[in-house]
Amino acid sequence: MSKHNFKDYLNEFLDYLKFTKNFSGNTITSYRTDLIQFGIFLSDFIEVDFNDCEFEFDIEFVDAKTLKAFIADIYSQNKIDIKKVSKYKKKSVARKISVLKAFFRFLKLKNYIKRNPASGLLFPKLPKPLPVNLTAPELETLLEEKGTINLRIFDKAILELFYGTGIRLSELINLKLNDVNFYNNTVKVFGKGSKERIVPFGKKAYTALKNYLEIREICDLKKSEYYFIDSKGNKLYPMKVQRIIKKDLALVTKVNKKSPHILRHSFATHLLDSGADIKSIQEMLGHSSLSTTQIYTHISLDKLKKAYKQSHPKA
């Protein structure tokens, strides 16, 4: 099955991501966009019309040189000097390389190709900025019971859950009523790839979530199964939650990116600073690889070095 319509390859791969790998709709859309761009490049390369339904070719002709030519074409589209390319552009190229690797790995898995031409592609070097987090005093000021900041019950529940469990924005939005267990203070979360995990929460989150339940009934016009709903009974959408977090965090911090993810970073960093082991933090965050979680150890190490320099006479 060497001679094949490129769009058939593409559609079969996207179905694989959706039904076998359980990728999210947004991720699949991103993969589709990048591979269509690659398909257009290939059509120019072999001088055919990409929109022609007869765009058929021997996939084996796509070798490492072809893929490198595609990457070079991305860099050259805006006449960008590769040595001076922006961080954003590098991230975009890295994503496209990742998509190509996944696509050709799939073709090899299906025996559509004998060799994987993308296996040797190298990612552009990207700086690895450390996650930004709020300080414990900042969060204490924001969330304290009898403080100067009077948060809405709705906001308080969302903030306490984010900081108390480290869950992602998409996980909070999709949280259902029966996912919250008040008997053992845990939430059942469905993370990336529909992987389920159980995360504990503390007394403050317990109180905030209970208080929200008391007023939730007023808004529950549609008998929603989702835990957090808006005033019309609809499931929350990401932008609404992001606006709430940005508004509330602006009361206590001047960090540039005031997003739900900063609360996830704060959750992990403060746990590590307090002596929690990295493996437990990995499980609570839902990271598939420990290396992803280990970035938080760098934050704590930087703090240790700073404390050493400030305090040790021989520093």
SS3 content of the chain, % helix, strand, coil (to 5): 60, 5, 35
CB 173 within 8 A of CB 238: yes
Stretch (H or E) spanning 17:
none
> Looking at the annotation, which residues are catalytic?
168, 192, 261, 264, 287, 296
Integer Cα distance of 185 and 190 in angstroms: 17
Which residues on neighbouring strands pair with residue 200, listed in sequence order? 186
Cα angle at 312 between 306 and 315, to 5 degrees?
75
Block mean pLDDT (10 aa), the chain, length 315: 72 94 90 92 72 67 91 72 55 92 95 92 79 89 74 94 96 96 96 88 96 93 95 94 96 92 93 88 89 74 57 56
Domain architecture of the chain: domains with CATH? 3-109 (no CATH), 136-311 (1.10.443.10)
Integer Cα distance of 168 and 313 in angstroms: 42
Question: What's the start-to-end Cα distance of the chain, in Å?
Answer: 67
Whether pTM exceeds 0.75: no
